[in-house]
Chains A and B, each alone.
Chain A
């Protein structure tokens, strides 16, 4: 079972992501953007890690989305291989049209955007732009719905950090929000520590529509998430006030995303 961790110029989370991939018992390697794209077909799954591909020029993810390696990745997505896009990886998947996955299958249209963060509380913008902190996520999809949360039960709470300036999901596509909700494509939402969805800052940390933090495509093999599970892979990485930090040998909440990916590949093999 071999995973490619994609690396674009400006990617900066590939090393810790590879650590996570390997730590759950998958093989993996970093796949540099200018390698022959055809070599992707030799892998069983893909992670597009976080960072600033092409320095977020023009807008986050868009330049990388035009690279040949992404066309090849679309093919791999089409045959059901799992793809997890984390933070900038999510932004790239959106700009590629792989997420949420076009309603008109053939068109390749972009159906949503991850716009600049706007932190709103009581109707006022209290902050905007880049933000780094630990957030609480509620798993919204049923287990087995999506590759990256395959082994996570619905309603599970995960504490994972975010660090981004553009994670505010917006769309003008008619009916898209309803479809995402109806089809179980909303994978994670931001919530408070008890799992309540409170649609304003600091709980909805970036102004995202319906507090959405992660979505998958209709078949469920492609997942995009703004939070960084690879940074919450070990319990010792948790913030000081989390009691699990005192049990450093325990797995961190983010590990479950990588375990899910592994399980998904095993089940679908």
Chain B
């Protein structure tokens, strides 16, 4: 394509006409480096590799500046497709976290399914067995002006998740769902996946040492390449306009869990072959940026060059070179391996697992060679269609975006204390953001693999025991509260980390690592970029000040080993609320010690830790009861937070607790109610609010009940109360014995000798279980 010698508008016109999203200066840089006009294929390759999605061109500097990524347990930080942390000397957890927001807004089912398909490939390609997924979802207001569309998106996304995940055979450990009007035109569909791998069996996503000297093969396996998802990467990096939906639809990939299921089993045979032969290979999945991204990054990471012949690629039809290069056809992997393994590898895929008969046109094909040069060359039909410096292609570019604080006008509302707390409680329990998630979870196969110890909805985090004969368990929780992010992007980030860690601690697991998926608006707008930076600062601050348990003395941060940035989550109506979605992995040495949130026994004492503050900004109470946002967003008091998290972990490890639940959305009242309402829902509670100590003491009852300041509600095992109090005090926490579990099926709360609320358990449960069903009908 002619660039040199043409004016900026002329270049702009021809780029857009070809469907290339890059800027004119970017195109000129490429022509400059090549010393000639680039070919069409070259421009498409650069366009994909230099997209926001692949190159993190706007975000990388900020991430590097703030986020802690290293720690004593880190086996691999955020350098390849997934991060890896150690569980013990033998086993590791592999984790990856991605977004699939834009495609899911257009085609919810395929978009969400492809999200799972991509993330499990990221984990599997490290040599790992994928053992769980979780989906943090953000949808618009189901009762707002766009209710129909919102519900269509929500239903399609949930269908896509279960249809793909269940067929693949990977259990879903939950995730979360938040409805908020900022997502009316831009849903967020994040997806987290974890796997396990033995430390000595990790496979890297790079051409291994000596691959160039020995001329290693480049082998493409899986679905025949087609034109699907063409431009998917550029698509994920641009704001959505409704009139573009028809054209945008072409950018969505078509996932196939069936083929993936067979590929995973064939991959297991590949991993076995590698172990038995003792030869290192490179293995990588094909995701954003397609074939070009996977090949060039593998070569570049090994410090080699690469020659590709597209005529050897198995394809669905005769597509032009630029399509084959960057199409995002799903269910494909790439192997870099020595020639002596070639026949064995081809046999695994083409004969043993019979790919051509499992999916028409699927197979393994040798498509190129690694060399010791520094070029990425591609030939097609005898013609050289791409010949570029490989490092230049993969390094991408950096932008220093401007930031400008957004003016956020918020104030505390002046509202009267409600007269009827029973009604307020029922309304809160019925709210789509508080109500039981059971309606959705029942679509997810939580049981496949037989590893589930704690299932979605049973506790604040899910827990699996993924290896028979080993006692360790892996807990997973996700969090991000967009209502907090709206008031304060910084505290939105900090509280997301704190809550995800609390969630994991509430089952008894020790937070081990975090991942982040940073969902923001257009980074070219200084206010959006400021929000992004504030969020990252908040995340980092919590990581650094809550410490990795066991390494407090060194003030070791909890490492963030994987993540993703999703910009351009905006439409002409505005951008999404700042949403740094955090996933936390917790490790339990002995999963049989784990506890859930449901009340266990009448007569048990309930303890509160975490004083209540006047922090109802962004609260469920302000929003649902008064339609207000408020200003006093919950903050993280780092020392207090850390002490609470550690104390709960220790108390569970000592076997002092029967149940635990953290305090977040809906405050103390919702947390206690949820403990009573979660299956089997056999017990009631009596709370004496006079026992709430510290904090903003003397607050009005509504603020006391619904403040979203962090904390925990703990059910002590009978006889363990004294030891629990002692333990809490050793962490400088004030044990507040606020109530008792009763055999009466009522939720009773009193203050100063007067009954505040007295709610029938079944009535409460009906409201709580109906809320989400009604919102998604």
Q: Point out the residues of chain B lying under 8 angstroms from A82, CB to CB.
A: none
Q: Is B447 an interface residue (CB 8 A)?
A: yes
Q: Point out the residues of chain A lying under 8 angstroms from B354, CB to CB.
A: 9, 34
| Cβ-defined contact, A132 with B450, below 8 A | no
Stretch at the interface among B41-49, B207-215, B591-599: B591-599
Q: How far, in angstroms, from A34 to B266 measured CA to CA in the complex?
A: 14
Number of interface residues of A (CB under 8 A): 33
Q: Is B494 an interface residue (CB 8 A)?
A: no
| Cβ-defined contact, A233 with B261, below 8 A | no
Q: Point out the residues of chain B lying under 8 angstroms from A166, CB to CB.
A: none
Q: Is B194 an interface residue (CB 8 A)?
A: no
Minimum distance in angstroms from B284 CB to a CB of chain A:
24
Q: How far, in angstroms, from A129 to B444 measured CA to CA in the complex?
A: 12
Q: Is B775 an interface residue (CB 8 A)?
A: no
Q: Point out the residues of chain A lying under 8 angstroms from B458, CB to CB.
A: 239-240
The residue of chain A having its C-beta at the shortest distance from the C-beta of B351 within the complex is A34
Q: How far, in angstroms, from A129 to B448 measured CA to CA in the complex?
A: 17
The residue of chain A having its C-beta at the shortest distance from the C-beta of B459 within the complex is A240
Q: Is A230 an interface residue (CB 8 A)?
A: yes
Partner of A237 from the list B444, B452, B598 (CB cut-off 8 Å) is B452
Stretch at the interface among A40-48, A51-59, A218-226: A51-59
Minimum distance in angstroms from A10 CB to a CB of chain B:
5
Q: How far, in angstroms, from A203 to B452 measured CA to CA in the complex?
A: 23
Q: How far, in angstroms, from A226 to B168 measured CA to CA in the complex?
A: 19
Minimum distance in angstroms from A241 CB to a CB of chain B:
4
Stretch at the interface among A13-21, A101-109, A145-153: A13-21
Minimum distance in angstroms from A21 CB to a CB of chain B:
13
| Cβ-defined contact, A131 with B262, below 8 A | no
Known: A12-B167, A12-B448, A52-B166. A133 touches B258 (CB 8 A): no
Interface residues of B in 429-465 (CB under 8 A from A): 441-450, 452-455, 458-459, 465
Q: Point out the residues of chain A lying under 8 angstroms from B700, CB to CB.
A: none
Q: How far, in angstroms, from A161 to B444 measured CA to CA in the complex?
A: 13
| Cβ-defined contact, A19 with B442, below 8 A | no
Q: Point out the residues of chain B lying under 8 angstroms from A12, CB to CB.
A: 167-169, 261, 448
Known: A19-B468, A131-B442, A132-B443. A241 touches B598 (CB 8 A): yes
Q: How far, in angstroms, from A16 to B169 measured CA to CA in the complex?
A: 11
Q: How far, in angstroms, from A13 to B162 measured CA to CA in the complex?
A: 16
Q: Point out the residues of chain A lying under 8 angstroms from B468, CB to CB.
A: 19
Minimum distance in angstroms from A164 CB to a CB of chain B:
9
Q: Mark A127-138, 1 if CB is under 8 A from B, else 0.
A: 001111100000
Q: Is A81 an interface residue (CB 8 A)?
A: no
Q: How far, in angstroms, from A12 to B258 measured CA to CA in the complex?
A: 10
Q: How far, in angstroms, from A15 to B129 measured CA to CA in the complex?
A: 12
Partner of B592 from the list A9, A132, A236 (CB cut-off 8 Å) is A236
Q: How far, in angstroms, from A266 to B591 measured CA to CA in the complex?
A: 36
Q: Point out the residues of chain B lying under 8 angstroms from A239, CB to CB.
A: 455, 458, 679
Q: Is A265 an interface residue (CB 8 A)?
A: no
| Cβ-defined contact, A54 with B258, below 8 A | yes
The residue of chain A having its C-beta at the shortest distance from the C-beta of B262 within the complex is A9
| Cβ-defined contact, A9 with B258, below 8 A | yes
Minimum distance in angstroms from A45 CB to a CB of chain B:
20
Interface residues of A in 105-135 (CB under 8 A from B): 129-133
The residue of chain A having its C-beta at the shortest distance from the C-beta of B443 within the complex is A130
| Cβ-defined contact, A10 with B262, below 8 A | yes
Q: Mark A234-260, 1 if CB is under 8 A from B, else 0.
A: 001101110000001000000000000
Q: Point out the residues of chain B lying under 8 angstroms from A131, CB to CB.
A: 442-443
| Cβ-defined contact, A240 with B454, below 8 A | yes
Interface residues of A in 27-43 (CB under 8 A from B): 32, 34
| Cβ-defined contact, B169 with A132, below 8 A | no
Q: Point out the residues of chain B lying under 8 angstroms from A233, CB to CB.
A: 450
The residue of chain A having its C-beta at the shortest distance from the C-beta of B465 within the complex is A236
Minimum distance in angstroms from B279 CB to a CB of chain A:
25
Minimum distance in angstroms from B733 CB to a CB of chain A:
26
Q: Is B103 an interface residue (CB 8 A)?
A: no
Known: A12-B167, A12-B169, A12-B261. A132 touches B446 (CB 8 A): yes
The residue of chain A having its C-beta at the shortest distance from the C-beta of B452 within the complex is A237
Q: Point out the residues of chain A lying under 8 angstroms from B447, CB to CB.
A: 132, 161, 163, 228, 231, 237
Minimum distance in angstroms from A8 CB to a CB of chain B:
10
Most buried by A among B169, B441, B455, B592: B169
Is chain B's interface secondary structure helix, strand, loop, or mixed overall?
mixed
Q: Is B257 an interface residue (CB 8 A)?
A: yes
The residue of chain A having its C-beta at the shortest distance from the C-beta of B264 within the complex is A12
Q: How far, in angstroms, from A47 to B777 measured CA to CA in the complex?
A: 39
Q: Point out the residues of chain A lying under 8 angstroms from B459, CB to CB.
A: 240
| Cβ-defined contact, B450 with A230, below 8 A | yes
Partner of A132 from the list B445, B596, B598, B680 (CB cut-off 8 Å) is B445
Most buried by B among A11, A34, A132, A241: A132
Minimum distance in angstroms from A61 CB to a CB of chain B:
14
Q: Is B358 an interface residue (CB 8 A)?
A: yes
The residue of chain B having its C-beta at the shortest distance from the C-beta of A133 within the complex is B442
| Cβ-defined contact, A241 with B679, below 8 A | yes
Minimum distance in angstroms from B133 CB to a CB of chain A:
14
Q: Mark B107-150, 1 if CB is under 8 A from A, else 0.
A: 00000000000000000000000000000000000000000000
Most buried by A among B447, B452, B455, B680: B447
| Cβ-defined contact, B261 with A10, below 8 A | yes
| Cβ-defined contact, A163 with B261, below 8 A | no
Q: Point out the residues of chain A lying under 8 angstroms from B262, CB to CB.
A: 9-10
Minimum distance in angstroms from A201 CB to a CB of chain B:
11
Interface residues of B in 317-355 (CB under 8 A from A): 352, 354
Q: Point out the residues of chain A lying under 8 angstroms from B679, CB to CB.
A: 239-241
Q: Point out the residues of chain B lying under 8 angstroms from A228, CB to CB.
A: 447
Q: Mark B142-166, 1 if CB is under 8 A from A, else 0.
A: 0000000000000000000010001
Q: How far, in angstroms, from A129 to B443 measured CA to CA in the complex?
A: 8
Q: Point out the residues of chain A lying under 8 angstroms from B446, CB to CB.
A: 132
| Cβ-defined contact, B261 with A9, below 8 A | yes
| Cβ-defined contact, A236 with B261, below 8 A | no
Minimum distance in angstroms from A121 CB to a CB of chain B:
13
| Cβ-defined contact, B592 with A163, below 8 A | no
| Cβ-defined contact, B162 with A130, below 8 A | yes
Minimum distance in angstroms from A250 CB to a CB of chain B:
11
The residue of chain A having its C-beta at the shortest distance from the C-beta of B592 within the complex is A248
Q: How far, in angstroms, from A16 to B618 measured CA to CA in the complex?
A: 45
Q: Point out the residues of chain B lying under 8 angstroms from A132, CB to CB.
A: 166, 441-447
| Cβ-defined contact, B442 with A16, below 8 A | no
Q: Point out the residues of chain A lying under 8 angstroms from B449, CB to CB.
A: 15-16
Most buried by A among B448, B449, B453, B465: B448
| Cβ-defined contact, B169 with A51, below 8 A | yes
Interface residues of B in 256-288 (CB under 8 A from A): 256-258, 261-262
Q: How far, in angstroms, from A230 to B449 measured CA to CA in the complex?
A: 9
Show the binding face of A for B, using Cβ within 8 Å.
9-13, 15-16, 19, 32, 34, 50-52, 54-56, 129-133, 161, 163, 228, 230-231, 233, 236-237, 239-241, 248
User: What 5 new A-B contacts, CB under 8 Å, besides A10-B258, A52-B167, A130-B162?
Assistant: A32-B352, A51-B261, A52-B169, A132-B441, A240-B459
Show the binding face of B for A, using Cβ within 8 Å.
162, 166-169, 256-258, 261-262, 352, 354, 358, 441-450, 452-455, 458-459, 465, 468, 591-592, 596, 598, 679-680
A–B complex contacts, Cβ < 8 Å, 6 sampled: A50-B448, A130-B166, A161-B447, A230-B450, A231-B448, A240-B455
Q: 4 closest pairs, A vs B, by CB?
A: A12-B169, A55-B258, A16-B450, A240-B596
